[in-house]
A and B are shown apart, each in its own frame.
Chain A
Amino acid sequence: MTGTIDRRSALTARLAPPALFTVLAVAGQLAAPAGPARAVLVLPAILWVPGQSLLTGLGLSRAAGRFRPALAAVLSIVALIAAGLLSYAVTGHVPLAVLPLWVSAALLPLNLLDLPSHQDPGPGLPQLLERTRWGTLYGAGVLAAGALLWGVAAQLPTTPQQPYLSFSLGAPYTQVKGVLPARAGQLLTVPTVVQTSQTRDLSGLTVGVLVDGAEPAGQLPAAVQPAADATAGTAQVQVTVPAGCLHRVELVLQRGSTPIRSVDLYLRTGKGTACGGG
Chain B
Amino acid sequence: MTTFATDRGPVTSWGVPRPPDHDGRDAPRFGSPAAWAVLWLTAAAGALLIAYAFSLAATDGTDVVHYAVFWFGMLVFFCPAAVVLTARRVDDRVRLGWLLGYGLFSYLPKLLRNPTQPLFHDEIAHWRQTTDLAAGGQLFQPNYLIGIVARFPGLHIVTASISDATGLTVWQSALVVMVAAHVLALFGACALGDALFGSLRAGVLVGLLYSLNSSFVYFDTEFAYESLAMPLFLWCLACLARAHRADGANERRRRVGWALGAVTAGAGAVATHHLTTVVMTALLLLLAVVTGAGAVRGAVPRGTAALTGWVALAVGGCGAAWLILVAPATFGYLSPYLGGGAGQLLHMFSGSGGTRSLFQASTEPVYERYAAFTVPLLSAALALVALLRRRRIPAAERRGEPLVRGLGLFGLMYFPSLPFILVEFGAEGARRSWGFSYIGLAVLVTPVLLAGLDRIAALRGRVWAAAALIAVLTAGDALVGNVAAGLDEDYRFPGPFVFGSDTRSVSAELVATSAWFKDHLGARLHVVSDRYTGLILVRDADALPASPSNGFPTYDLYFNATPPSSFLVHELSSSDYSYLVVDKRMATELPEIGVFFEPDEPFAFGGKNPITPGDLSRYNALPWTTKVYESDSYAIYRFDFSAIHSTVPGGAP
Contacts from A to B (Cβ < 8 Å): 25, 28-29, 33-36, 38-39, 42-43, 46-47, 54-55, 58-60, 63, 66-67, 70-71, 73-75, 77-78, 80-82, 84-85, 88, 92-101, 134, 138, 141-142, 144-145, 148-149, 152-153, 156-162, 164-169, 171, 173-179, 195, 197, 212-214, 244, 246-248, 261-266, 273-278
Contact in complex: A47, B139 (CB < 8 Å): no
Does B232 make an interface contact (CB < 8 A)?
Answer: yes
Cβ contacts under 8 Å, B96 to chain A: 66
Give the contacting residue for A75; candidates B164, B190, B264, B507; CB below 8 A: B264
Which residue of chain A is the closest to B48 with respect to CB atoms? A152
Cβ contacts under 8 Å, A173 to chain B: 628
CB distance from B476 to the nearest CB of A (A): 22
- Interface set, chain B 552-584, CB cutoff 8 A to A: none
CB distance from B496 to the nearest CB of A (A): 6
Contact in complex: B623, A84 (CB < 8 Å): no
Contact in complex: B640, A152 (CB < 8 Å): no
Contact in complex: A248, B516 (CB < 8 Å): no
Contact in complex: B629, A145 (CB < 8 Å): no
C-alpha spacing A78/B40, complex, angstroms: 32
- Interface set, chain B 147-197, CB cutoff 8 A to A: 153-154, 157-158, 160-168, 176, 180, 183-184, 187-188, 190-191, 194
Does B316 make an interface contact (CB < 8 A)?
Answer: no
Among A161, A212, A276, max chain B CB count under 10 A is at A276
Contact in complex: B628, A274 (CB < 8 Å): no
CB distance from A120 to the nearest CB of B (A): 12
CB distance from B269 to the nearest CB of A (A): 9
CB distance from B497 to the nearest CB of A (A): 7
C-alpha spacing A201/B632, complex, angstroms: 12
C-alpha spacing A270/B157, complex, angstroms: 54
Does B218 make an interface contact (CB < 8 A)?
Answer: no
Contact in complex: A35, B168 (CB < 8 Å): yes
Contact in complex: B516, A36 (CB < 8 Å): no
Give the contacting residue for A166; candidates B167, B191, B516; CB below 8 A: B516
Contact in complex: B649, A213 (CB < 8 Å): yes
CB distance from B155 to the nearest CB of A (A): 9
Does B474 make an interface contact (CB < 8 A)?
Answer: no
CB distance from B370 to the nearest CB of A (A): 29
Which residue of chain B is the closest to A211 with respect to CB atoms? B649
* Closest 9 pairs between A and B when the two form their complex, measured CB to CB: A178-B640, A34-B167, A278-B642, A78-B268, A276-B643, A84-B157, A156-B55, A164-B509, A166-B631
Cβ contacts under 8 Å, A158 to chain B: 55, 58-59, 494
Cβ contacts under 8 Å, A92 to chain B: 138
Which residue of chain A is the closest to B628 with respect to CB atoms? A169
CB distance from A278 to the nearest CB of B (A): 3
Give the contacting residue for A247; candidates B92, B153, B624, B649; CB below 8 A: B649
Q: A60-B254, A81-B158 are in contact. Are A95 and B180 (CB under 8 A)?
A: no
Contact in complex: A60, B630 (CB < 8 Å): no
CB distance from A186 to the nearest CB of B (A): 17
C-alpha spacing A266/B164, complex, angstroms: 46
C-alpha spacing A104/B168, complex, angstroms: 19
Contact in complex: B620, A70 (CB < 8 Å): no
Cβ contacts under 8 Å, A213 to chain B: 649-651
Give the contacting residue for A263; candidates B246, B258, B630; CB below 8 A: B630
Does B593 make an interface contact (CB < 8 A)?
Answer: no
Other than A82-B267, A88-B139, give 11 A-B pairs with Cβ distance below 8 A.
Answer: A43-B162, A71-B239, A80-B157, A156-B55, A159-B495, A161-B509, A166-B632, A168-B630, A173-B628, A248-B621, A265-B626
Contacts from B to A (Cβ < 8 Å): 36, 40, 43-44, 47-48, 51-52, 54-55, 58-59, 92-93, 96-97, 100, 104, 108, 112, 133-134, 137-139, 153-154, 157-158, 160-168, 176, 180, 183-184, 187-188, 190-191, 194, 200, 228, 231-232, 235, 238-239, 242, 246, 253-254, 257-258, 260-261, 264-265, 267-268, 271-272, 494-497, 507-509, 512-513, 516, 520-521, 620-621, 623-624, 626-634, 636, 638-640, 642-643, 645-651
C-alpha spacing A46/B93, complex, angstroms: 25
Give the contacting residue for A149; candidates B44, B160, B161, B190; CB below 8 A: B44
Cβ contacts under 8 Å, B629 to chain A: 166-169, 263
Contact in complex: B43, A179 (CB < 8 Å): no
Give the contacting residue for A276; candidates B512, B520, B646; CB below 8 A: B646
C-alpha spacing A264/B232, complex, angstroms: 54
Contact in complex: A59, B253 (CB < 8 Å): yes
Cβ contacts under 8 Å, B58 to chain A: 157-159
Contact in complex: A38, B646 (CB < 8 Å): no
A–B Cβ pairs within 8 angstroms, 10 of them? A63-B258, A67-B238, A70-B187, A75-B264, A94-B133, A168-B636, A179-B623, A212-B650, A248-B648, A261-B630
Cβ contacts under 8 Å, B165 to chain A: 25, 29, 42, 46, 96-101
CB distance from A258 to the nearest CB of B (A): 14
Give the contacting residue for B161; candidates A60, A80, A134; CB below 8 A: A80
Contact in complex: B638, A178 (CB < 8 Å): yes
Contact in complex: A176, B638 (CB < 8 Å): yes
Give the contacting residue for A74; candidates B184, B257, B508, B512; CB below 8 A: B184
CB distance from A141 to the nearest CB of B (A): 5
CB distance from B491 to the nearest CB of A (A): 15
Give the contacting residue for B154; candidates A29, A81, A94; CB below 8 A: A81
Contact in complex: B643, A46 (CB < 8 Å): no
CB distance from B487 to the nearest CB of A (A): 18
Which residue of chain A is the closest to B522 with respect to CB atoms? A175
C-alpha spacing A77/B97, complex, angstroms: 22
CB distance from B5 to the nearest CB of A (A): 18
Cβ contacts under 8 Å, A263 to chain B: 627-630
Contact in complex: B623, A134 (CB < 8 Å): no
Cβ contacts under 8 Å, B180 to chain A: 47, 73, 77
